[in-house]
C-alpha cells in the first residue's frame, strides 16, 4: 500500500512539473499544459483504489455519507491495519524464537 501511494505521488509530481512546464524553459503565454499521464477520472492526480474501496466510496457519494462514516468504512476494509498486525506477529515470533535460541545456547555452553 505504501509503495503504491509513493508511485501515485511521484506520477502526480511528474504531472505537475509537466503542466507547469517547470522542467524546461517556462513559457508563460502557453499557460498550464495538459498532464503527461491522466488518471482514469481525467485528473492529473493519480489515484488507484481496490474495487472494494471504490465501491465504498461510490456508496458514500450515492447515499451522502459524512466524511467520518466514509473513513470508518474504508478503514475497516483497508490493508494497513491487517498488515501491521501481521508484521507485529512476525516480529513477536522472531523475538520469541531468538529468545529460546539465546537461552538454550547460554545453558548448553
> pLDDT tens per residue, the chain (109 residues)?
555 666 667 667 777 777 776 655 545 556 666 777 777 767 767 666 778 888 888 898 899 988 888 878 877 777 777 788 899 999 999 999 999 999 999 988 7
Helix axes 51-63, 67-77, angle to 10 degrees: 160
Triad 1, 53, 46: Cα angle to 5° = 60
Q: What is the mean pLDDT of the chain?
A: 77
Distances (CA, A) of 56 to 22, 25, 27: 37, 43, 42
Domain ranges of the chain: 1-48
Amino acid at each position: 500500500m505504501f509503495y503504491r501511494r509513493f508511485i501515485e505521488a511521484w506520477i502526480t509530481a511528474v504531472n505537475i512539473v509537466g503542466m507547469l512546464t517547470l522542467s524546461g524553459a517556462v513559457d508563460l503565454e502557453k499557460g498550464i499544459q495538459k498532464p503527461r499521464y491522466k488518471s482514469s477520472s481525467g485528473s492529473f492526480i493519480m489515484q488507484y483504489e481496490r474495487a472494494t474501496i471504490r465501491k465504498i466510496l461510490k456508496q458514500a457519494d450515492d447515499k451522502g455519507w459524512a466524511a467520518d462514516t466514509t473513513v470508518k468504512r474504508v478503514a475497516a476494509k483497508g490493508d494497513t491495519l491487517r498488515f501491521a498486525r501481521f508484521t507485529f506477529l512476525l516480529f513477536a515470533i522472531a523475538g520469541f524464537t531468538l529468545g529460546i535460541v539465546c537461552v538454550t545456547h547460554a545453558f548448553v555452553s
